[in-house]
Amino acid sequence: MRVLILLPCLLTLGGCNLLLPRHDPGQAWVELNPRIPHSLRAAEVDRKTLDDHRFFQVSPGAHELGMRYRFEVASSNIGPNQPPHERNCLIRLNYKEFAPGQRYSLEVGDVGFRPWARLYDDQRRMLATGQESGCNSGA
């Protein structure tokens, strides 16, 4: 009985990270760090669609990462008495030097209607920035 009570608590503490695959030391690992949970998902590597949208794990070398970022544009950026506007954007980020065994962090944000993405190494040095590749409203 105690195990049944403890199990949900442990799963809550660990979140979805318990379900992530092991990091292959021969690959580079890119963690997604959105400001709002579920607003960022991995979409493509080198324009090939991914099955798992929680992270990127790529071979060493050059890659283009494609990610979907959903955010809300505040009414103060649209006009008086306007409702907030939801955006769903594809952002592409190119980086030529992914290293085996290294961990990277991908962060996103927005300014008004425009999304941004930045890739950081494990020392918090910014390595690359992403470019918007198309947005639409809502889903």
DSSP per-residue codes, 25-53: TTSEEEEEE-SSTTSEEEEEETTEE-S--
Q: What is the pLDDT of residues 65-115, one digit of tens each?
A: 999 999 998 877 777 778 888 999 999 999 999 999 999 999 999 998 899
Distances from the Cα of 86 to the Cα of 69, 114, 131, angstroms: 11, 12, 19
Using pLDDT thresholds of 50, 70 and 90, give the confidence band for residue 14: very low
C-alpha closest to that of 65 among 107, 23, 123: 107
Q: What is the pLDDT of residues 39-79, one digit of tens each?
A: 999 999 999 999 889 889 999 999 999 999 999 988 777 77
**119 and 105 Cβ atoms separated by less than 8 Å:** yes
Distances from the Cα of 34 to the Cα of 52, 79, 112, angstroms: 16, 27, 17
pLDDT for position 63: 98
**Distance in angstroms (rounded) separating the CA atoms of residues 57 and 74:** 34
DSSP code at position 36? S
Q: Which are the contacts of 72, defined by CB distance < 8 A and separation ≥ 6?
A: 84, 85, 86, 87
Tokens standing for 74? Answer: 């505040």
Place of tokens 């907030």: 84
**Distance in angstroms (rounded) separating the CA atoms of residues 118 and 132:** 12
**Distance in angstroms (rounded) separating the CA atoms of residues 84 and 79:** 10
